[in-house]
Amino acid sequence: MRGTPKGRGVTYPLELFRACARHPQSVSIRVTRSASKMAATMETENVATANKKKHLGIPEAVFVEDVDTFMKVPGNETADVVLKRLDEQYQKYKFMELNLAQKKLRLKNQIPQIKQTLEMLRHMQKVKDTTEPMETRFLLADNVYCKASVPPTDKVCLWLGANVMLEYDTDEAQLLLEKNLATASRNLDLVEEDMDFLRDQFTTTEVNMARVYNWDVKRRSRDSLSKIADKS
What SS3 state is found at 150?
A: strand
What are the residue ranges spanned by the domains of the chain?
6-45, 67-231
The CATH class that applies to domain 67-231 reads: mainly alpha
Instruction: Report residue 152: phi and psi, to 5°.
Output: -55, 135
Give the contacts of 160 (CB within 8 A, at least 6 positions apart). 166
Encode the chain (232 residues) as per-residue pLDDT tens digits: 444 444 444 444 444 334 444 444 443 434 344 445 555 555 555 544 545 456 768 899 999 999 999 999 999 989 999 999 999 999 999 999 999 999 999 999 999 999 999 998 988 888 888 888 888 888 888 889 999 888 888 888 888 878 899 999 988 999 999 999 999 999 999 999 999 999 999 999 999 999 999 999 999 898 888 877 777 6
- Cα–Cα distance for residue pair 76/55, rounded to 1 Å: 27
Give the contacts of 65 (CB within 8 A, at least 6 positions apart). none
Exposed / middle / buried, residue 85 (Cβ in 10 Å: 0-12, 13-18, 19+): middle
Predicted TM-score of the model (pTM): 0.67
